[in-house]
């Protein structure tokens, strides 16, 4: 039987690999979709329970992103169907 420390190590290794791989795919798709929708200065701030959170740099950009929210979500879902919701807020994008 595996020791608890070995089990924990395996779990965290698997989570890390999956997370890094998924994060790279999400980042690549995000850049492509946002360029297509002419949204600049945006950055993913998190993903929780199929809900993508995105920071934008200004109130004007927030307004622009919210106007295109449905189209952006549809474009994201073509590549990553697991994303069910997207939210924008003003925050750090660098």
Neighbours of 78 (CB within 10 A): 9
| CA atoms within 13 A of residue 36's CA, in its CB half-sphere | 14
> Does residue 7 surpass a pLDDT of 50?
yes
∠ Cα 38 40 41 (to 5°): 165
**pLDDT one-digit tens code per residue, 51-85:** 999 999 999 999 999 999 999 999 999 999 989 99
pTM score: 0.74
Helices (H), the chain: 4-36, 59-67, 69-79
DSSP annotation of 65: H
């Amino acid at each position: 039987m595996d020791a608890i420390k070995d089990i924990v190590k395996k779990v965290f290794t698997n989570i890390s690999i999956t997370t890094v791989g998924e994060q790279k795919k999400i980042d690549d798709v995000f850049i492509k979709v946002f360029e297509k929708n002419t949204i600049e200065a945006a950055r993913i701030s998190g993903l929780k329970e199929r809900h993508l959170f995105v920071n934008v740099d200004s109130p004007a950009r927030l307004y622009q992103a919210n106007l295109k929210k449905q189209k952006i979500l549809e474009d994201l879902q073509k590549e990553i169907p697991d994303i069910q919701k997207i939210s924008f807020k003003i925050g750090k994008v660098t």
